[in-house]
A = this chain, B = another copy of it.
Amino acid sequence: MKETMPHWLDKQADLAPDNNAIESPLFDSITFSVLRDRAQQFAKRLASLGVKEGDHVAIYAPNSLEMVIAIHGLSYVGAVVVLLNTRLSKNELAFQIRDANVSYILTDEDNIDHFKDEKNVQIASFITVEKLQGLAITLKTEIYLDDVFTIMYTSGTTGKPKGVVHTYRNHWSSAIASALNLGIDRQDKWLATLPLFHIGGFSLLMKNVIYGMPIYLLDKFDVTSINQAILRKGVTIVSVVSVMLDRLIENLENQTYPAIFRCMLLGGGPASKHLLEKAKKHQIPVFQTYGMTETSSQIVTLSPADAFKKIGSAGKALFSAQIKILKDDQATAPLEVGEIFVKGPMVTNGYYQNEEANRTAFNQEWLATGDLGYLDGQGFLYVMDRRKDLIVSGGENIYPAEVEHVLVEIDGIKEAGVVGQKDAIWGKVPVAFLVADRKLDFDIVKQQCSESLAKYKIPKSFHIVEYLPRNASNKLLRYQLEEMLE
């Protein structure tokens, strides 16, 4: 049986029309009823642009009210929203646009020329759409939970990005599982500073309309703005990564957050004891989490009560979710490392039109994350390594294979190995080890990389070596490169 609900924004605008939906230092607050009205108008204007139910429409924009309105507007039409990372190179974007069968791209005025080479795709800025006369189409009043809402790309170990398909059920289940974990308080206001094109930011738009909770929207990560929002604007929950938390605390100096601030949700790797102690000194309750695009945001969370008892742990699977650790297809004993598998209604049903990736990643309803970890005797998860080689840099994921793949296409480079190097600001930055058959100009190499890679993925330094460390099956041993760095 189809599971049906009233359209979430419609419903929230009916239940709490005059409550603030979105607050921001960038624009006047808007209520749920205004957000609904503007999203519905936008939907009708999208229709006159030609957008129909089932169309795949990409959004390429920094966090903004227009982007939020466009997302809900597309939902009213019944279109699928493809969220593009604004830091990607043109080649990366071109791949995703083609792979996801995108027929329209919505963007802000500044980026309208960014896609001028795209064929077979109609480009429109939010402002262009806003100026159109709307068509009197029938908008969605109900949501079928198994319909597709979004596609977001993530790169795998193979280096080729895969489109993670999220249904409305995935987003709903994620918001509900988080509510059962953190509770729902009528005072809550969640700060949205993570990009809305990533699941961490996008999931806040879902909590926004499902809980009826205002979000406080920022267009970029800015330490002072965030601390001001917490200190003066009633923000009660913030999602961050470790490196951001550290900078927030530094900036706080001797101030402490108000008592209503109740949750610093920390993703992107475990917190060090040192960081936890700093947070404790400032009375900041830190909830460490583990999640990924495929799980529609966090799926494992550690409560502050357990933070010091379980240092390095990401916690336990949320109420409706399950985790297991397998090694050679067998469940591991406690403390034994293996691959982390996840299951639950927030886990994607699959990658977009990618049979091979789906065959590799799914076993029944269990998703193989590619991440290594173990459970302790009480069932707490410890993530050892993100997808073995993943480099997390300022909250963005960098897959070495993807960067290596670009490097070896460059004339003169025979082999490439990329690993993360510790960095005071970004946590980690990528660096490359190269086997070359001529002398290289690294500025030119960087230039060539920038055609295919987002800036944050381009190696910050290069090391020429005679050969790369490999095992008997010729597999690159990146951990040996890491040892060489030290």
Q: Restricting to A415-471, which residues have a CB under 8 Å from any CB of B?
A: none
Q: Restricting to A307-346, which residues have a CB under 8 Å from any CB of B?
A: 316-317, 319-322, 343-345
CA distance A5 to B177 in the complex (A): 11
Contacts of A15 in B (CB 8 A): 316, 319
Contacts of A319 in B (CB 8 A): 5-6, 11-12, 15, 210
- B5 lies within 8 A of A320 (CB): yes
Give the size of the chain A interface in residues (CB under 8 angstroms). Answer: 35
Contacts of A183 in B (CB 8 A): 183-186
10 contacts between A and B (CB under 8 A): A1-B146, A2-B365, A4-B344, A4-B365, A5-B319, A5-B320, A6-B322, A179-B184, A180-B211, A184-B184
A139-183 vs B: 1/0 string, CB under 8 Å?
A: 000100010000000000000000000000100000010011001
A415: min CB distance to chain B, Å = 33
- B345 lies within 8 A of A3 (CB): yes
Contacts of A6 in B (CB 8 A): 317, 319-322
**Contact of A258 with B by CB under 8 A:** no
**Contact of A14 with B by CB under 8 A:** yes
CA distance A316 to B317 in the complex (A): 33
CA distance A211 to B2 in the complex (A): 26
**Contact of A40 with B by CB under 8 A:** no
CA distance A183 to B184 in the complex (A): 5
Contacts of A12 in B (CB 8 A): 319
**Contact of A25 with B by CB under 8 A:** no
A204-227 vs B: 1/0 string, CB under 8 Å?
A: 000000111000000000000000
Contacts of A14 in B (CB 8 A): 316, 379
Residue from A1, A3, A12 with most neighbouring chain B CB atoms (10 Å): A3
**Contact of A349 with B by CB under 8 A:** yes
Closest to A315 in B: B15
| Cβ-neighbour of A5 out of B4, B11, B212, B344 (below 8 A) | B344
Residue from A319, A321, A345 with most neighbouring chain B CB atoms (10 Å): A319
CA distance A11 to B344 in the complex (A): 13
A320: min CB distance to chain B, Å = 5
Closest to A173 in B: B3
Contacts of A146 in B (CB 8 A): 1
A243: min CB distance to chain B, Å = 29
Q: Restricting to A214-250, which residues have a CB under 8 Å from any CB of B?
A: none
Contacts of A3 in B (CB 8 A): 169, 345
CA distance A6 to B379 in the complex (A): 14
Given the interface pairs A316-B14, A316-B15, the reply to whether A349 lies near B1 with Cβ below 8 Å is yes
A1-43 vs B: 1/0 string, CB under 8 Å?
A: 1111110000110110000000000000000000000000000
Which 9 interchain pairs have the tightest Cβ spacing? A183-B184, A5-B320, A184-B184, A6-B322, A3-B345, A176-B176, A183-B186, A11-B319, A15-B316
Closest to A344 in B: B5
Known pairs A5-B320, A5-B344, A6-B319 / 20 extra A-B pairs, C-beta < 8 Å: A1-B349, A1-B365, A2-B365, A4-B343, A5-B319, A5-B345, A6-B317, A6-B320, A6-B322, A14-B379, A15-B316, A142-B322, A179-B179, A179-B180, A180-B184, A180-B210, A180-B211, A183-B184, A185-B185, A210-B319
